[in-house]
Amino acid sequence: MVKAAAIHGELRKRPFAGRATAPVFVDLAIYRGYHMTHHVKTGTAQDPDLGNYANYPVSRASLLRKFGRDLTGRSGLRALL
């Protein structure tokens, strides 16, 4: 979630939040291509992010857990392992 916001330039508008992208452990230039494929194929079987949002809407508690994992770097570490 934080990576997607960074790709769309949302975090540049908020200086403190821009620093929150550090724990994602991903080269945002590389991720941008992957994420743009998601936009072109959104909701189709070829959408690389379909598994990330297929079960939405989620509860508020679930959404907060997702943000917590992103902001603490847990999502990024999981992607590395």
Length of the chain in residues, anyone? 81
**Cβ pair 2, 52 in contact under 8 A:** no
Residue with tokens 């230039």, as numbered in its chain: 29
**pLDDT for residue 76:** 73
| pLDDT tens-digit readout, 39-81 | 899 989 999 888 888 888 999 999 899 888 888 878 777 777 7
**pLDDT for residue 20:** 47
**pLDDT for residue 18:** 44
**Cβ pair 2, 70 in contact under 8 A:** yes
Q: Is this prediction's pTM over 0.75? A: no
Report the alpha-carbon distance of residue 59 to residue 52 in Å, rounded.
14
Q: Of the ranges 4-8, 12-16, 41-45, 67-71, which one carries the lowest mean pLDDT score?
A: 12-16
